[in-house]
Amino acid sequence: MAIKIDGKALAAKVKARVAAEVAVLPRRPGLAVVLVGEDPASKVYVNGKEKDCAECGIRSFGHKLPEETTRQELLDLVHQLNQDPEVDGILVQLPLPRHLDEKEIIRAIAPEKDVDCFHPVNVGLLSIGEPMFLPCTPAGVMEMLREYHIPVSGKRCVVLGRSNIVGKPMAMLLTQANGTVTICHSKTEELASYTCQADILVSAVGKTNFVTADMVKDGAVVMDVAMNRNESGKLCGDVDFAAVESKASYITPVPGGVGPMTRAMLMQNLLTAAKLHQNLK
Ligand code: GUN
């Protein structure tokens, strides 16, 4: 039976660590959270991030803009936040309404305030092993592996999904930790032949019960990054938890696994940004 990795408890520990460091900074850090439109899931995420800030002693500046916000209005706000010395981090909640170009908006954020680690400069720095910030979800997964003393070096790691936000940076962090990494995706043929070899399997697909027990090696570590809703509206991951739990050595639940860690790592990035802006290390 697998050990269940407690993301909620570890996130609380990370946030307590951040709060302790924030408390002794000369200036209180600030996060600008920009939400455009009425996406209900985004509203929940944004509220969660503002609550995390409060817990860590970080100021949050909410900018809730109407659905009809124009490209220029949003760019003007980002430029203003880039200049604002009270703002250490800028988070533009995705997805944006369809008339706005997410790539353009992300590129407009000053890289040294890009606490999501989405800007091409930060993705580039990460890829050469000189990160300014770490991408929150993959960093959360790495922190969980560290906390549970799960070795990555030399291990076969399989990442399901190749998104810019999770799959690709996850593969990068695992590679930098000396894992031997394979990225699988929707076009991968004979998927199970890869997953069955994985010592560490990270799933970021977005499909309920996508990872079944026959796809998992005995004793594997299974990290479930997805946040899906099943037919009855219940929050669940990609992994058929009940079946895989009896085969894996470690497993993350959904909810209470990677999700809270993603939020905690955002607070960690805020602290990094604040230190950077206050010329501290
Ligand atoms: N939408 C879903 N996850 C995220 C995230 O981590 N950051 C931002 N900005 N938007 C998101």
pLDDT in tens, 79-108: 999 999 999 999 999 999 999 999 999 999
Q: Maximum Cα–Cα distance for the chain, whole Å?
A: 55
Which of these is catalytic: 6, 52, 88, 93? 93
Give me the catalytic one of 15, 49, 155, 247. Answer: 49
CA of 247 to the centre of ligand 1 (A): 32
Pocket test for ligand 1, best of 94, 122, 134, 164 (most atoms within 8 A of CB): 94
Tell how far CA 139 is from the center of its chain.
Answer: 7
Residue 168 Cα to ligand 1 midpoint, Å, equals 15
d(CA 259, CA 140) in angstroms, rounded, equals 8
Nearest ligand 1 atom to alpha carbon 262? 6
Average per-residue pLDDT in the chain?
A: 97
- Residue to mutate (ligand 1; options 165, 227, 268; most atoms within 8 A of CB): 165
Mean pLDDT value of segment 135-141:
98
Residues sharing a CB contact under 8 Å with residue 99, sequence separation 6 or more, in sequence order:
71
pLDDT tens per residue, range 167-176: 999 999 999 9
Mean pLDDT for the stretch of residues 51-73: 98
Residue 30: pLDDT over 80: yes
49 is catalytic: yes
DSSP label at residue 138: H
Matching residue, tokens 């690709």: 168
Give, using CA atoms, the residue closest to atom 1 of ligand 1: 94
Work out whether the CA dihedral 7, 12, 15, 20 comes out positive or negative: negative
93 assigned to active site: yes
What three-state secondary structure class fits 74?
Answer: helix
Tokens representing 208 are 């309920």
Pocket around ligand 1: residues whose beta carbon is below 6 Å from it? 91-94, 116, 136
2-9 average pLDDT score: 98
* Predicted model pTM: 0.97
Question: Do you find a cis peptide bond into 253, omega within 30 degrees of 0?
Answer: no
Of the pLDDT bands very low, low, confident and very high (cuts 50, 70, 90), residue 280 is: confident
Ligand 1 pocket: which of 33, 91, 105 to mutate (most atoms within 8 A of CB): 91
Phi, psi for 124 (deg, rounded to 5): -65, -45
- With a CB cutoff of 8 Å and minimum separation 6, the contacts of 4 are 245, 250, 251, 252, 253
Atom of ligand 1 nearest to the CA of 266: 6
Helix axes 40-56, 258-277, angle to 10 degrees: 60
| Rounded distance from Cα 45 to ligand 1 centre (Å) | 8
The pLDDT value given to residue 65: 98
